[in-house]
A and B are shown apart, each in its own frame.
Chain A
Amino acid sequence: MNTSGLIVMVLSVGTAASLFSWCIYKVLTTPRETEKVHGVDLHTPDMDVDS
């Protein structure tokens, strides 16, 4: 790996890791944010209707 490859790798991995870390920090430090942030929650409300 040459120097420019090392720079691209460090920048790419560093940016991805920093952005993910910042999101986790923001979710955990904002009041009640853990209740308001959702992903693809596999348990959907229609599961409770006729189960």
Chain B
Amino acid sequence: MAVAGSAVGLGNFLRFPGLAAQYGGGAFMIAYAISFLIIGLPIGWAEWAMGRYAGGKGFNSAPGAFAAILNKRWAKYIGIIGVIVPVMIYMYYVFIESWCLGYALKFWTGSVDLKTTDDAVAMFKTMSGQLVDGSALSLSWNTALPWLVVVFVFNFWLIYRGISGGIEKMCNLGMPILIVLALMVLTRVLTLGAPDPAKPHDNVVNGLGYMWNPSKVQIERTQPAPGEAKVVEELVGAAAITEAEQRVAASGGALKLVTITPWQQLQNPLMWMAAAAQIFFSLSVGFGVIIVYASYLRKTDDVVLSGLTASSANEFCEVALGGLITVPAAVAFLGLASVAGQGTFGLGFTVLPLVFAKMPLGTFFGGAFFFMLFIAAVTSSISMLQPGIAFLEEAMNVGRKVSVTILGMLTTLGVGFVVFFTKDLKALDTLDFWVGTFLIFILATIQIIVFGWHWGIERGLKEAHQGAAIRIPRFFGCIMKWICPVFLLVIFAMTVLTSVFGFDLSTRTFGNPSSYVVDLIGGVKDDKAVGTNLAAQLSVALVIIVAGFFALLSSRSKNFQRAEQGLNKHD
């Protein structure tokens, strides 16, 4: 249960359903399953094996591990990415965690009174401070600050005093509580039927169809006017499609009914990118977390079954629970139109609260759902701190409490930065793209190349199989050496082309750079010249400053020098 508990986080219940619905449900699941097989499992096993090997030589941080494996001076600087990613993600993850706690307590105290979508949007914008920079820092029941203080102190209290006794039991109980709460919410959702008899199309079966049908059916305008959306409406269910056919026939050719097959959807590289990114995010692959925790294992421990169990627990929560709760409930209560086009936060923090507000016993179920998210997030956020702690211990040769104190000061500044620049969640969004997507791709690619090419498959699998009850199937050798690196490099190239340089995959032409680049250097957005965005620039500057600080510490570390020379830390 502890293995399973540590694997589950916010990505399972918030990010996955939103992406699956956005990219066409069934077709997305094909890309997602392939990504799980060719990047999630292989890189996970590689991280477990490399981490344990480094731990055997006495190194627990990512820079120490890379230096011990590659025996090169520059290796520790690559390993720094494995410290930057979890520490910087922690800086905004804990902010989202505080929203979950705030929503749970607001539901349970009966202070959520939502009647319209506007109410739900206003509640979320107030909680997250999206209206004006600094507004999340006001001390109010409705803003994130009080919850953030509780969450932040709770995280560091756990990590400072050690996870032992009652706390360990609480963490171990977290997973069963989470599954029980999720099953209660799931049972409630699946028995909703059509909550509003006046809207029979808005029912759970259609919600499940929207989430899982491989083909998408939609009404499109045949000749959309400039600035007008091409897609009018997405459809699910035989009755809705029959009605739509009549509407299209009566439109005099202005509208048409279009069916998008799974094959057509699978030709969209953006969907593959989204599926791969989701695998990274939910399995914590490429985060720099697994390599650190694996370093504490013994040679006799089983990293193959550990990796598979953690991954499968994560997939179970993501697909079997997350995939059946969020979207069906939102469709049943609010209709397809409310779900289409919603991102991660839109579904989780505006649509779902409205769903719970309209549901019988919604106060209880809403509180339970958000408390479940909070429990899932706590174990994840604590695990994001350990890579930073282990790094500071090794780089500065200090004890845990000194390391925790330094990391506490660093993350307080970082979290304060994210919580101040909340207008349009600019700091959070910028860090999530450059660190939570870009750097993760880079680290994961480096890790699998080191495993498959520096170690070689024979040695890598031999390392992984020590103490293992099961063996990694032979065909994974080919996946780890060839398919996985090529797949990652292609996806990374696509991400850079589309998100950074604005390449339009449908027209095969270069357009304006994405908003992430325009925010940094200025440019054109929506056919208008726009300037730079200070919050985005400062966010990237923060990443560079933290990276520089870590690089400086690494360059002076005697422990890392020993790793480069192939020596054990304690020789």
Report whether B168 and A43 are in contact in the complex, using a CB–CB cutoff of 8 Å.
yes
By size class, the interface of chain B is 35 or more
> B residues within 8 A CB of A26?
305, 469-470
- Shortest distance from the beta carbon of A44 to any chain B beta carbon, whole Å: 6
Mark out the residues of chain A between 21 and 47 whose CB falls within 8 Å of any chain B CB in the assembled complex. 22-24, 26-27, 30, 33, 36-47
| A5-B213 in contact given A42-B163, A43-B164 (Cβ < 8 Å) | yes
Chain A residues with Cβ below 8 Å from B6 are 39-42
Look across to chain B and name the residue whose beta carbon is closest to the beta carbon of A1: B209
Chain B proximity of A26: nearest CB distance (Å): 6
Contact mask B160-171 → A, CB, 8 Å, 1/0?
Answer: 011110001001
Asked if B305 and A27 make an inter-chain contact with CB atoms under 8 angstroms apart, the answer reads: yes
B476 to chain A, nearest CB (A): 15
- Check: B137 CB closer than 8 A to any chain A CB: no
Complex interface: chain A residues within 8 A of B205 (CB): 1
Number of interface residues of A (CB under 8 A): 37
| Whole-angstrom CA separation of A51 from B158 in the bound complex | 12
Q: Assess whether A41 is in contact with B293, with CB atoms less than 8 Å apart.
A: yes
Asked if B60 lies at the interface with its beta carbon under 8 angstroms from chain A, I say: yes
With A40-B293, A41-B2 as contacts: A8 and B29 at CB distance below 8 Å:
yes
Closest Cβ of chain A: how far from B388's Cβ, in Å? 12
Q: Are A8 and B214 interface neighbours, CB within 8 A?
A: yes
B312 engages A41 (CB within 8 Å): no
Taking the complex as formed, is B208 at the interface, i.e. its CB lies under 8 A from any CB of chain A?
A: yes
Whether A20 contacts B162 in the complex (CB less than 8 A), given A5-B26, A38-B301, comes out as no
Say yes or no for B550: interface residue by CB 8 A criterion: no
A48 touches B316 (CB 8 A): no
Q: How far does the alpha carbon of A17 sit from the alpha carbon of B3 in the complex, in Å? A: 16
* Chain A, residue nearest B467 (CB): A36
Q: Which residues of A contact B310 (CB under 8 A)?
A: 39-40
Closest residue to A35 on the B side, CB-wise?
B301
Are A1 and B306 neighbours in the complex by a CB distance under 8 Å? no
Contacts A1-B205, A39-B3, A47-B400 given: A27-B382 contact, CB under 8 Å? Answer: no
**Structural contact, B320 and A13, CB atoms closer than 8 A:** yes
- Tell me which residues from 84 to 119 in chain B have a Cβ below 8 Å from any Cβ of chain A: none
Alpha-carbon gap, A41 to B215, bound state (A): 41
Name the residue of chain A whose CB is nearest to the CB of B284. A40
| A42 → chain B closest CB, angstroms | 4
B163, B316, B390, B399: which has the most chain A beta carbons within 10 Å?
B316
Among A8, A17, A36, point to the contact of B316 (Cβ < 8 A): A17
CB distance from B217 to the nearest CB of A (A): 9
Chain B residues within 8 Å of A, Cβ to Cβ: 2-7, 25-26, 29, 33, 60, 158, 161-164, 168, 171, 205-206, 208-209, 211-215, 236-238, 284, 289-290, 293, 296-297, 300-302, 305-306, 308-310, 312-313, 315-316, 318-320, 323-324, 379, 382-383, 386, 389-390, 393, 399-401, 467, 469-470
Chain A interface residues (CB < 8 Å from chain B): 1-2, 4-6, 8-9, 12-13, 15-17, 19-20, 22-24, 26-27, 30, 33, 36-51
25 A–B contacts, CB within 8 A, in A order: A1-B213, A1-B236, A2-B238, A8-B26, A8-B29, A8-B213, A13-B320, A16-B315, A16-B320, A19-B308, A24-B309, A26-B305, A36-B300, A36-B305, A38-B306, A39-B4, A40-B284, A42-B163, A42-B171, A43-B162, A43-B164, A44-B60, A46-B389, A47-B164, A49-B399
